Amino acid sequence: MNYFLQQVINGVTLGAIYGLIAIGYTMVYGIIGMINFAHGDIMMIGAFISLIAFLLMAALGVTFLPLALLLVLLCSLVFTAIYGWAVERIAYRRLRGSFRLAPLISAIGMSIVLQNAVQLAQGARVKPLQPVIQGGIELSQRGADFPVTLGTLQIIIILLTIFLMAVFTLLIQRTSLGRAQRAAEQDMGMAALLGINVDRVISTTFVIGAALAGVAGLMVTLYYGVVDFYIGFVAGIKAFTAAVLGGIGSLPGAMLGGLLIGLIEALWSGYGSIEYKDVAVFAILVLVLLVRPSGLLGKPEIEKV
Amino acid sequence: MTPALRHAVIDAAAAALVAALLALPLLGFRLADSAQGLQLVTRLTWVPIAAGLVFAGRLGLLLAAPLWGRLLRQAPQGDLSVRGTNRRALLIGGALALGALILPLTPFGDRNLLDKATLLLIYVMLGWGLNIVVGLAGLLDLGYVAFYAVGAYSYALLAQHFGLSFWLCLPFAGLLAASFGILLGFPVLRLRGDYLAIVTLGFGEIIRVILLNWASLTGGPNGISGVPRPSFFGLPFVAHTPGNGSFHEVFGLAFSPNHRVTFLYYVILCLALLTNLFSLRIRRLPIGRAWEALREDEIACRSLGINPTTTKLSAFALGAMFAGLAGSFFATRQGFISPESFSFLESAVILAIVVLGGMGSQTGVVLAALLLVGLPEWFRDLQQYRMLAFGCAMVLIMLWRPRGLLAGRQPTIRLGADG
């Protein structure tokens, strides 16, 4: 039982990270209907920027941990958002309204560019980071066969994710930006006719998605303690799987999907074999899609002539 | 300063500012390993250099825009251009095929070039195979390399454990890959476009993970080495055999290692041309017409009594079969296979070849393969920058010609007197 509880805690933490990345996929897909393949690599860039920011904080002598964390978070968020904006501006904007596969290929190209640019600029070797946040809460009774701990870092990750998702949901539901975004999602042409600057809305979508991915990158750096130029690919695929699992285009779906993928991965690694955890993730995706072809929370699409 | 110039300068300055912001964290600082762990090395001078380069580049591009205008404009689309494009494509295609046939006989056809051409032809064949799935049937397959892997491993394993020859294994590898295609396609082909994409992507990863971890069968990350080389219908390409049965002895030639290279080149050329011929012919059969109709409008097809699932399944299985054939050729050519050769990047490259070529255009696939696989092969010396340039090329070609290099889509049937 304790072992199970520990895996659930690990799974929820992992799921929070996947959920944050999945939001970027699902938002972009909802508005312009493209799979933004470079999104995972944006997360990787966020991880690198936060690692650099950590070392910079140490060099500048910022030793008060909460302040350092906050500054690193801001750095990662802002610079990753700029990357997200630039990727959209360079590789996707010109292809809007073009033939369906063109932006996809452009996105795959962009993903290769980002990976290799980072590899060239920062070197191919795995970059380690000393654990920054340590300690945790012991949840199990004394003398239990398997100690259950809820790490401080895990608490921070989960709380930060909940906070960001709450802010984000409010943003989408209550602000004029959110309204414009939902309008553009339903009918881009009509939204443009009614005076919404669709280009700007799409840019903002990419910026928000990238900022969330930047935060996820920071979490990955802290949680795993290692960063290399290739982490974006696998995390990106898993997050996209999460978005599809939850129903692509649906924001609560992305969060739910992320949580499920995280749990599946943690439990499979805990009870099954760690090598085949990715196989389990994809197998469950296929099973869910067979029963519910539009994902768990997705709206079934009605095909019309 | 004219308004146009001022506008260009402002635009370029904005681009330079963004470039500086992008370069600041990742170019301005470098994470360096040292004895005390990770160290931060500053090289802030790189940031203004990057910004300056972007400024100059952007300004140059904007000022040259009127000159470029015609070149950069998108490919003309519509019925008028179709016929001209077709004739041109046919001409280029014929010339390329002829050139490929006589290449080993020309003085340029040395071993090095033939090796590169063989690699190129593998990608051309894969592109033509995937073109059946993506170009004709309109199914987005992001895990095509899985079938390529199935073909390669099935040949390697059959040859190693049962001692079967390449020519026996080739059809078998194709069939096996096709049955994998059916196995995967059966449950997932009901899904719509992008869901299919992610499931095929997942399938490609699953196959790779299994190949990587099922060490007792596949050798895990070490792969399978010593895959038997092909023989000329039973006559091996070796210097000496016990019974005077090697290729050069039977044909009374002096032994040369080039024989095998040339033979491999012709084998893949035949396989690729077979794929091409097959897809050109099948477009004219009811099944091929059904694929294209399904791509255009699924509901109309259903109402006309076409079964979408079996139609899609056949495209999927046939595409997989050609990947399997190419895979076993790859295994016999390399003599060594490992899961590393079957990563997602390969799938992406093949898909890029199909899309950059102009979907459904057979000649376009060859041109795109030349551009994406051939050019980087020539610039192998620039190892580090090769993949970066490859990614940039993908983005730039798409921006330049979103519909692919040879974009005119040929109508399958022309109604009316002029058809």
Please determine, for residue A127, whether its predicted confidence score (pLDDT) is greater than 70: yes
Same domain for B396 and B259?
yes
B45, B171: one domain: no
Q: Rounded to whole angstroms, how far apart are CA atoms A94 and B311?
A: 35
**Rounded CA separation B29/A50 (Å):** 12
- What tens digit of pLDDT does each residue of B9-29 get? 888 899 999 998 888 888 888
Domain range enclosing B42:
3-72
Choose among B287, B321, B74: nearest CA to B185.
B321
Is residue B149's pLDDT more than 90?
yes
B57-92 pLDDT tens trace: 988 888 887 776 655 554 444 444 445 556 776 777
Residues B283 and B381 in one domain: yes
**B178 shares its domain with B243:** yes
Q: pLDDT, tens digit, for every residue of A86-116?
A: 999 999 988 887 777 788 889 989 999 999 9
Instruction: Give domain status of residue B236, yes or no.
Output: yes
Q: Looking at the domain assignment, is residue B406 inside a domain?
A: no
Which of chain B's residues have a Cβ under 8 Å away from the Cβ of A51?
A: 31, 38
With respect to residue B205, please indicate whether it lies within any of the assigned structural domains: yes
How far is B233 from A83, CA to CA, in rounded Å?
56
pLDDT in tens, B264-307: 888 899 999 999 999 888 988 999 999 988 888 888 888 999 99
Whether A248 has its CB under 8 Å from any CB of chain B: the answer is yes
Beta pairing partners, A127:
A227
B113 and B68 belong to one structural domain: no
Tell whether B410 is covered by a domain: no
Q: What is the number of other CB atoms lying within 10 angstroms of the CB of residue A103? A: 27
The per-residue pLDDT for range B98-136, each reduced to its tens digit, is 888 877 777 776 788 888 889 999 999 999 999 999 888
User: Is there a domain that residue B64 lies in?
Assistant: yes
Note whether A244 and B200 are within 8 A (CB).
no
Q: pTM for this structure?
A: 0.86
Q: From the list B18, B40, B210, which residue is nearest A52 (CB)?
A: B40
pLDDT at B68: 66
Looking at the fold, whether B154 and B211 belong to one and the same domain comes out as: yes
The answer to whether the beta carbons of residues A214 and A43 sit under 8 Å apart is yes
User: How many structural domains comprise chain B?
Assistant: 2
Question: In angstroms, rounded to a whole number, what is the distance separating the alpha carbons of residues B34 and B39?
Answer: 6
Q: Which residues of A touch B345 (CB under 8 A)?
A: 112
Which of these three, B72, B103, B123, is where a domain ends? Answer: B72
> What is the predicted pLDDT for the residue at B234?
67
Q: What is the CA radius of gyration of chain A?
A: 20
pLDDT on residue B415: 62
Residue B180 sits in the same domain as residue B237: yes
Terminus-to-terminus CA distance in chain A, angstroms?
Answer: 54
For the segment A57-87, what is each residue's pLDDT rounded down to a tens digit?
888 888 888 899 999 999 999 999 999 999 9
Q: What percent of chain A has pLDDT over 70?
A: 97
End residue of a domain, out of B72, B106, B123:
B72
**Are B65 and B106 found together in one domain?**
no
Count of residues in chain A: 305
Judged by a CB distance cut-off of 8 A, whether residue B300 touches chain A is yes
ipTM above 0.90, yes or no: no
Length of chain B: 419
Minimum mean pLDDT among A15-19, A49-53, A93-97, B310-314: which range? Answer: A93-97
pLDDT band at B244 (very low <50, low <70, confident <90, very high): low
Burial A258-296 (b: 16+ CB within 10 A, else e): bbbbbbbbbbbbbeeeeebbbbbbbbbbbebbeeeebbb
Q: Which of A56, A74, A90, A116 to mutate to test the interface with B (most CBs of B within 10 A)?
A: A116
Contacts 24+ apart (CB under 8 A), A90-97: A90/B395, A91/A38, A91/B395, A91/B398, A91/B399, A92/A32, A92/A34, A92/A36, A93/A199, A93/A202, A94/B399, A95/B398, A95/B399, A95/B402, A96/A32, A96/A202
A 127-146: CB under 8 A from B: 127-130
Element (H, E) at B33: strand B29-34
Which stretches within B38-144 are classed as H helix? 46-63, 65-72, 79-102, 111-130
The alpha carbon of residue B43 is apart from the nearest alpha carbon of chain A, in Å, by: 11
- If asked whether residues B56 and B113 sit together in one domain, one would say no
Token pair, residue B373, equals 């696989």
Give the C-alpha distances (Å, rounded to integers) separating A230 from A80, A124, B340: 17, 9, 14
Of B38, B355, B392, the CB nearest to A127: B38
Q: Which of B22, B39, B356 sits opposite A82 (nearest CB)?
A: B22
Ramachandran angles phi, psi of B242, nearest 5°: -55, -45
For B339-356, give one letter per residue: b (16+ CB within 10 A) or e.
Answer: bebbbbbbbbbbbbbbbb
Compute the distance between CA of residue B124 and CA of residue B147 in angstroms, rounded to an integer. 16
Main-chain dihedrals φ then ψ at residue B106, nearest 5 degrees? -80, 160
Q: With contact defined as beta carbons under 8 Å apart, do A280 and A287 qualify? A: no
Q: Could you tell me which chain A residue has the CA closest to the CA of B215?
A: A275
Q: Is residue B419 part of a domain?
A: no
**Radius of gyration of chain B, Cα coordinates, nearest whole angstrom:** 25
User: Chain A, 167-206: which have a CB under 8 Å from a chain B CB?
Assistant: none
Residue A108, CB half-sphere, CA atoms under 13 Å: how many? 22
Residue B340 placed within a domain: yes
Cβ-nearest to B38 among A55, A244, A276: A55
Same domain, B152 and B67: no
Clarify whether residues B133 and B45 are in a common domain. no
Assess B198–A contact: CB distance below 8 Å, yes or no. Answer: yes
CA distance B81 to B79: 6
Query: Least CB-CB distance to A244: which of B29, B39, B198?
Result: B198
> pLDDT value at position B75?
47
Do B198 and A102 lie within an 8 Å CB cutoff? no
Give the pLDDT of residue B255. 73
The answer on B270 and B187 residing in a single domain is: yes
Between CA A122 and CA B39 the distance in angstroms is 12
Domain assignment present for residue B275? The answer is: yes
